Amino acid sequence: MSGWRPAPVTVQVPATSANLGPGFDSLGLALGLWDEVTVQVGTAVAGVSIEVEGEGTEVAERGERHLIVKVLRQTLEAIDGLASTRMAGQVQGIGLRCVNRIPHSRGLGSSSAAIVAGILAARHLHPHGHLLDDEGALRLATAIEGHPDNVAPCLAGGLTVAWTTPGGPRLVRLESQVKQVVAFVPDQRLATERARGLLPETVPHGDAAANAGRAALLIAALSQGLASDVLLDATEDRLHQDYRAPAMPESAELVARLRANGAPAVISGAGPTVLAFTTAAQVDSMGLKVGNGWHEYPLDVAPHGARIQSGDVGAAR
């Protein structure tokens, strides 16, 4: 088929942490834990072939129902709409290989990583992919994910503030002066839908006001590298963590213990992972016994977002 790029494309996508305590559905941080997704499309042979290494092997047999495959096809169709072409329908076969390092259903943005991977792969493979610009990619990713707080740092890297307008989602990327964090990942999973279902329809005005102030302080603390005691105050939350605690009591207890030791700790996204704005050495110096069932991940803040690893197109083309 004329115009298509037959060579496979590999996309590298980072883990992300959303909310960061008080920044509910708006703040996000890209983390140095990466999935690699290789996609190849064909027009002569139909069918979907999926190979998964690491996390998510249980969904390797989903075929057309696999999230990345669905996003890939949806993005190809979206680009067709921009280009007034009908090329997406000519893609009969899809080969997908995923090397997944981001834990699934743990609050580290695995679904956002999959969505962004599918969008960037499709944008690279479609001959008119350049018509889907960065704003369009964010808009599409947000529409699929439902909110922009994870897809924003996945696309842009670093620290992001994301919000929605009548014209669609937008983001601002900031340089985080905090370069390292520690993620405490439990064995058990928690579906985002369940965590969101625990949130009340309304919250007290005082709690909303307190969170607004803390979120503003958190942006200042992270972008200016303010002292850890300021960061501890800045990560206080009243909007979501306490309401979700019954679904993840061990995570809530670990957050409380870390904070009692002076470590700014929050629930990562919808949980149950706990994110601490500290280093592994500082955690060790506390003499804190996390206990069995937790995996400690010392991570750098990712300086860039998702990017093409092969071919002639760089990140966020």
Question: Known binding site for ATP: residues?
Answer: 103-113
Q: Which of 239, 306, 269, 25 is nearest to 148 (CA)?
A: 25
Alpha-carbon span 71 to 117, nearest angstrom: 9
State which H helix or E strand residue 219 sits in: helix 205-224
**DSSP per-residue string spanning 91-158:** --EEEEEEEE-SPTTSSS-HHHHHHHHHHHHHHHHSTTGGGS-HHHHHHHHHHHHSSSTTHHHHHH-S
Q: Annotated binding site, which residues?
A: 103-113
Q: Are 283 and 296 in contact (CB under 8 A)?
A: yes
The strand pair at 47-54 and 93-100 is best described as parallel
E strand residue ranges, the chain: 9-19, 23-42, 47-54, 93-100, 159-165, 168-174, 180-186, 265-267, 274-276, 294-300, 307-308
Inter-axis angle of helices 67-83 and 110-125, nearest 10: 40
SS3 of residue 41 by DSSP:
strand
Residue type, 193: E
Alpha-carbon span 211 to 213, nearest angstrom: 5
SS3 of residue 227 by DSSP:
coil
Token pair recorded at residue 286: 């506390």
